[in-house]
Structure 1
């Protein structure tokens, strides 16, 4: 067993060989500025490194799975990369860290469904489909109901080549707060949960028609609410949008495709930093990193 849950090294002391990083059984944090390091994450100060190390120590299994997945998926085709993420996520669903989080909740898991109208509102004008996440009272959380509605939409887009563009946005105060936490724990068979993600992951389908999809996001984009739109060919963010990957606190890693979609936009080191730190990324930073493609107050959407 390693003596520590993470390894912190100055940039100058990080071995340059790629195989060295792959052999490390812990997250590797490089400290320094203005250089690329053969590490899982790079920070500019010892204080920042210690903050990450503290988070890693609270959820060492999830943190290790995260960096191992990120190391692997940058070398794999998208479909295989998504499979690797899902397998790691399934492992962590049965792990002690996630079980402790589930047990600390005051209420047992329960399905969350229903609202005014469809979970995803659809309209069509010519060859353009306008889709809007439509559970504002739940802050458009990614419930099973929402997942299934998105899968239905994207399967249609893939099959119907007369649809040349999809404009995806969300009703209410924010784009999406991500996975519906009240539903976490409903899937007690983690192997079956992996099979379901292999069949019904909205991000997997979005990736197949990405060149025809534009997402407009606003305010909170948390967890899968950031992971899912990152698959789109183009993402525009409202200036007050922010992006956050809080899964580590739950003993998990991004499981809606974010280890793939986000890392392919901003790189594995910045993705690792987002998860290990749990900090928010502003719209301006997201634009600079490439997590979004534009920042605008609004886009031309039907009322």
Structure 2
């Protein structure tokens, strides 16, 4: 736990919040509002003390990541998408060199290493029929975690769509028990130079590429969609999910924030406050709630049932 001299968050009743929207930007830490309103001048709105206790415990355990998260969400709200992703990446880089992430790495003990499939099968299987491309994440043995290998395969896939205007639609889904559990934790810590990691996210980022061809991309997810396993799909022009899908942003527990574009892609689907709630609480939401919030566009059995 990081010990700071000032309180790691502020909690006020909705009625006591200042009306000036600039007030929130002047607060360095998360501002939690108690009450019911989607227009509160706060980072997150909750209804009861039980939820406050959960949030307080998580924020107090990772105050630097929590502070960084809400500052990023505030800053990117009105920025163009490319600039917003740059802000997220710079903030993520600062946390990569921070004490909270370092403590998580030390507690894990295992040495970071790149994860490769023992066979020669491609990380993503791609089939084309006419003007439609069907792509499947193909690392079910790793629950389709976003490894370096998978990241590079996604970059190649989205570059193909951007280059080839004859591709009318890309349908992306995943093989195996779930769509993706997000970043491969065994690879966390490989980037020892945060500035170089920022360069990689700036120049080799599947989310940036997907955002540029989003109107031609339909992603269908199923079961677990964690971290970048929902951050990346949220950039798609159409995002559907199987009935048993669930969504979670676990990065705060590592001393980090969503770093695959989620502070931008998810916030632009469900809003800044709900994104903050997902990241600060670490709670899962199911497909029905995700549909109600607008995180996904449809609930269906497969990618083919909504065309």
How would you bin the TM-score normalised by the shorter chain?
over 0.9
Cross-structure match for 1:123: 127
Shift of 1:297: 1.8
CA RMSD, 1 decimal = 1.1
Equivalent of 1:42 in 27, 40, 45: 45
Relative to the length of structure 1, the TM-score reads 0.97
Equivalent of 1:22 in 16, 25, 28: 25
Cross-structure match for 2:176: 172
Cross-structure match for 1:137: 141
CA–CA distance in 1 between the matches of 2:303 and 2:122? 22
Task: Count the aligned residue pairs.
Answer: 301
Q: What pairs with 1:178-217 in structure 2 (closer than 5 Å)?
A: 178-217=182-221
Shift of 1:99: 0.2
The runs of 4+ residues in structure 1 deviating greater than 2 Å are 298-301
Q: Structure 2: where are the runs of 5+ without partners?
A: none
Q: What pairs with 1:1-303 in structure 2 (closer than 5 Å)?
A: 3-34=6-37, 36-116=39-119, 117-300=121-304
**Structure 1 residue matching 2:32: 3-state secondary structure:** strand
CA 1:255–1:158: 2 relative to 1, 3 Å? same
CA–CA distance in 1 between the matches of 2:139 and 2:37? 43
CA–CA distance in 1 between the matches of 2:302 and 2:227? 23
**Structure 1 residue matching 2:128: 3-state secondary structure:** strand
CA–CA distance in 1 between the matches of 2:176 and 2:56? 37
Relative to the length of structure 2, the TM-score reads 0.96
CA–CA distance in 1 between the matches of 2:7 and 2:62? 12
**Structure 2 residue matching 1:300: 3-state secondary structure:** helix
Q: Residue deviations 1:266-295, cap 9 Å, x none? A: 000000000000000100000000000000
CA–CA distance in 2 between the matches of 1:157 and 1:298? 21
CA–CA distance in 1 between the matches of 2:238 and 2:174? 16
Q: Residue deviations 1:198-229, cap 9 Å, x none? A: 01110110000000000000000000001000
Shift of 1:54: 1.3
